[in-house]
């Protein structure tokens, strides 16, 4: 007897399968290197804890998956700028989440210049990982690995 699945369950299963395939190409060493490059200047070495790295890596993975999910439409000719417009709210959510997380764990204080610089670093970090995922998604569709 066949098992009946709803459309939502099937879509979720397909999405999880795609995300597993995409994440195989992502290196943890590269993620940690990028986290240190972007956020190390804001924290003293003693204050740069494992929690900051973990939270930043989580957001980077989410941004990477977001970009990879738009790789299909990028393969058909849509530019990265139009993709950024499409996923504006998701990107903004990831940026704000990362910024709030780093503010909480970093004990930044009330210095507006440092806070603004940290926010800009968060924007660049999330945009970079969306672009990385987008490029990988395009390549996966070109190679028919989707």
**115: Cβ–Cβ under 8 A, 6 or more apart, which residues?**
103, 108
138 in a structural domain: yes
Q: By CB neighbour count within 10 A (0-12 exposed, 13-18 middle, 19+ buried), where does 143 fall?
A: exposed
In a domain, 109, yes or no: yes
In a domain, 27, yes or no: no
Virtual CA dihedral for 125, 104, 28, 86, nearest 10 degrees?
Answer: -40
Asked if 69 and 22 touch (Cβ cutoff 8 Å), the reply is no
Please check whether residue 78 lies inside any domain of the structure. Answer: yes
Count of structural domains within the chain: 1
Q: Give the Cα separation of 108 and 125 in Å (integer).
A: 18
Segment 42-82, tens digit of pLDDT: 877 646 678 888 999 999 999 999 999 998 887 778 888 99
Average pLDDT of the chain is 87
pTM, whole model, 2 decimals? 0.87
Decide if 116 is inside a domain: yes
- Is residue 6 one of the residues assigned to a domain? no
105 within domain boundaries: yes
CB 98 within 8 A of CB 55: yes
Flag whether 20 is in a domain.
no
Q: In terms of residue numbers, what domain contains 143?
A: 52-146
């Amino acid at each position: 007897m066949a098992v009946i699945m709803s459309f939502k369950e099937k879509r979720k299963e397909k999405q999880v399968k795609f995300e597993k395939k995409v994440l195989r190409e992502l290196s943890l060493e590269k993620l940690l290197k990028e986290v240190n490059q972007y956020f190390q200047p804001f924290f003293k070495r003693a204050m740069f804890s494992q929690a900051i790295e973990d939270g930043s890596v989580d957001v980077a993975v989410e941004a990477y998956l977001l970009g990879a999910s738009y790789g299909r439409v990028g393969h058909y000719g849509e530019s990265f700028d139009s993709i950024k417009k499409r996923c504006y709210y998701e990107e903004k959510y990831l940026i704000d989440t990362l910024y709030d997380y780093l503010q909480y764990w970093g004990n930044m204080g009330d210095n507006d210049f440092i806070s603004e610089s940290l926010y800009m670093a968060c924007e660049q970090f999330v945009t970079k990982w969306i672009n990385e995922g987008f490029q990988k998604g395009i390549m996966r569709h070109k190679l028919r690995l989707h």
